Amino acid sequence: MWIAILGGVAAGLLITMFFVLRQERGYRMLFSDTHLMDFGKCLEAARAGAVATTFEGVEVALVRLPQHLALTLATKRPIAPAAAGFLLGFALEVTHKAPPTAALQTDKRAYALVWETGAIDSERAFVAITEATLPGLRAAAADAMKALPITAASLAAYR
């Protein structure tokens, strides 16, 4: 009887470990140096007016609203708000630290930073991401995400 119970607990523990490690591996790649450099290129492409997608499936677009400017991030799979907060914090650092009006979670796979029109000069290039600047940007993004409350809302409020 005890052997069956211990076997069941061990099987449940192995299944749980599998799912935790699988999820961690996905986030590890999302925060890797190569992905963050690709993410920076996508941010620059979005500044130029294109919709760009990283190799991890993070779609970046700059949406011009009547009185606001929104940087939207859409992922192919749902990510935790803390993970999105880091990416939003990283985007905030790359956009010359312009303080946003709001940081939004529009659904499980979509997030946005919203600024008033004119807060960001879209003609000015964003911060270049190189191997030398990446550690500083990563640390600054971690600090920025702590001060960036993400609110569940829609971009419709800013139209």
Burial, 75: exposed, middle or buried (Cβ in 10 Å; 0-12, 13-18, 19+)?
A: buried
Q: Is 137 helix (H, G, I), strand (E, B) or coil?
A: helix
152, β-bridge pairs: 105
CB proximity list for 74: less than 8 A, separation 6 or greater: 58, 59, 61, 109, 110, 111
The upper half-sphere exposure of residue 149, i.e. CA atoms within 13 Å in the direction of its Cβ, equals 4
Mean pLDDT throughout 107-135?
A: 88
Confidence of residue 18 (pLDDT cuts 50, 70, 90): low
User: Is residue 14 over pLDDT 90?
Assistant: no
Percent of the chain with pLDDT over 70: 91
d(CA 54, CA 86): 16
Does 20 score more than 90 pLDDT? Answer: no
What's the whole-number average pLDDT of the chain?
86
Global pTM exceeds 0.85: no
Give the pLDDT of residue 2. 76
Q: Would the CA dihedral through 116, 119, 121, 127 be positive or negative?
A: negative
As given in the structure block, the two tokens for residue 82 are 């803390």
